Structure 1
């Protein structure tokens, strides 16, 4: 098998070795950025000194068929320390609204909370931007913090978010929560969201004039009121499927200061519960992130198979490919260390991630995507 992969002739062996050069360069650059971000990239923590007043902040939570998630997340949201928690039921059909009302009534402590009904979605709006736009209208708080219904917040999360916003001087601020995973599809693929961030965006670029240096995670996204107005709110990205990144890029174009942090133990999330959800959830964002270019999605996937899977297959016979395989494992291990995931077995099996991503790529190439019972054309 190794002979067939590496080729028997000297010319073929030289070609295989030559192909390792760009792979090694790619992995080395990613690893260098990641190592810099190990020290550079902040993680949310409660401030040790004077703490900001969270009374002028509001936690805004869109809900659509979240009956299986919100009971686990809502207690933490109420205990996080925000001035108010506002939840919006976006046409749920699984009893989410009734369950939330019951949970709010039975809560004996924490921030005041209320549930509001969502209005019918107008033409030209994607589901989440419309729900978030309504939530923003429901509060006059100075700081708006939008939070997905599956995010688990620790006590004091409000102070940690506001303190980090102030420390970075951020007008728009996004937290990448620590991923909690269960199935192997989740373990292999969900952390790649943070991998793209920590291996592709040196934190210092946020303070540079490079306005394309922008990222965000819609699971936890905060705005100063004036910044929210400046970007046109969610109306500025009303038809975007990947609205979080679109908002970050829009904020940078408007000259606003963007801040980022990892969630650590303060903000954690289990975005997907099984292979089907991983495929649908990650797949729907691939084409928008590639600017609608299907060839780019395919090319990127083939390249990652070459960079992470091929080195393991070629490592037995070719020293350069052994180095490439070691770099891939090191990258994922350092990512687990930085985020606090500590899934070392998933790090050792990083070569399987591009293969596991095959169905995600197939899903992402489809013209029509379905998420939360709604259909989108990409």
Structure 2
């Protein structure tokens, strides 16, 4: 068997793919380490707060009967010097399940809880996602600070005090925390850690907090802690009404106005379980992944390619080399031992790196043997997100359409 002859061509091509995979793995993990190495972490306050400014916690809720009570009760248990300074505003965004009844019960149980019955969106304006609900709640809420969280978020008792201390120490107009991701089913274990790693590698956390880098902006919607004056100055959610990925859009607004942005790891203090099954996960990520890439087809396709080369190609190398060895025998197929060993080495390398990074982000390490399936799922989500966003086909959230018939499709 020759190396590049007709019999050796598959080996040559296979080694080429594995070398490209090794390059992508190296660059990916280099970007991840660069982002996470100096990332600040939200920690419980070293000393108790002497006083508390008025803080309004806004929770937009659309069909959140599973999450709402646990979310609100966690907020109300926050350890604060003057709990009466904390108000909770539930914005029921025309839910069709038991969300409103649960909210009404919470209002009756604690005077700090308020319910906003969000009216239908104005027919003459474009409002996407939770922007309208947040805007309606803020119109009634009072406070020096506004904290926006999702109903699937669970705050530890020290979280709000820690955020206030950190915001004051850094003079932050917006402090956002990357939450700890909680996974409870196979689909979550396969997809969530991979996407979180990609998001972390895709931007530099320290650069996000650097006022000298207005071009780098990012925030995490599950925890957005605003100084009210800054929120009003940038126009609030109304300024990004048509943007489905409002967290990143608001971060860009903050930086474009020359205000201070602070991004931190909220591990241990802020937790979120975003999706509870494959269907919800598929609908959720295909809804906003392409929008998060600013509707640039090339950027979203890059996510798919990274998933394939980091997680799928090494497994594919082992599979195809093993099949070839079995088909022609060890003696005739000895040349396939090189790609087989190379693919195995890549898998071992990626496994070691992934386990180290999982510790840094408090991510679950399960089902590593199915990492190839994780890569395929993330790639499929990226491609489906492009199709849904650009065509409007099936672009929904919990059955609510996100597409606009008259909307023009931007170029890639």
TM-score (norm 2): 0.81
Structure 2 residue aligned with 1:282: 285
Distance change >3 Å, CA 360–CA 164, structure 1 → 2: same
Structure 1 residue aligned with 2:314: 311
Kindly report the root-mean-square deviation, in angstroms, between the aligned alpha carbons of the 2 structures: 2.6
Structure 2 residue aligned with 1:68: 66
- The 5-angstrom pairing of residues 12-161 of structure 1 reads 12-49=10-47, 51=49, 53-80=51-78, 81=80, 83-107=86-110, 112-122=112-122, 123-161=125-163
Alpha-carbon distance between aligned partners in 2 of 1:180 and 1:333, rounded to the nearest angstrom: 16
> How many equivalent residue pairs?
370
1:302 and 2:328 correspond: no
Alpha-carbon distance between aligned partners in 1 of 2:171 and 2:147, rounded to the nearest angstrom: 16
Structure 1 residue aligned with 2:261: 258
Structure 2 residue aligned with 1:188: 190
Structure 1 residue aligned with 2:236: 233
Q: Deviations over 1:324-358 (max 9, x none)?
A: 323432343233211223x2224554332121235
- The 5-angstrom pairing of residues 171-182 of structure 1 reads 171-182=173-184
- Which is greater in Rg? 2
In terms of mean alpha carbon deviation, does 15-24 or 66-75 score higher?
15-24
Q: Deviations over 1:86-128 (max 9, x none)?
A: 1111111112112122134235xxx822112112212311141
Give 5+ residue unaligned stretches, structure 1.
none
Give the CA deviation at 1:52: 6.8
Give the CA deviation at 1:359: 4.5
List structure 1 runs of 4+ shifted beyond 6 angstroms.
none
Alpha-carbon distance between aligned partners in 2 of 1:23 and 1:166, rounded to the nearest angstrom: 44
Task: Indicate if the aligned counterparts of 1:67 and 1:95 stay in contact, CA closer than 8 A.
Answer: yes
Structure 2 residue aligned with 1:337: 359
Structure 1 residue aligned with 2:331: none
Partner SS state of residue 402, structure 2: strand
Give 5+ residue unaligned stretches, structure 2.
322-336, 404-408
Give the CA deviation at 1:254: 2.1
Give the CA deviation at 1:174: 1.2
Task: Indicate if the aligned counterparts of 1:308 and 1:350 stay in contact, CA closer than 8 A.
Answer: yes
Partner SS state of residue 262, structure 2: strand
1:218 and 2:244 correspond: no
Structure 1 residue aligned with 2:326: none
In terms of mean alpha carbon deviation, does 219-228 or 74-83 score higher?
74-83
Alpha-carbon distance between aligned partners in 2 of 1:304 and 1:7, rounded to the nearest angstrom: 31
Partner SS state of residue 366, structure 2: helix
Alpha-carbon distance between aligned partners in 1 of 2:150 and 2:23, rounded to the nearest angstrom: 37
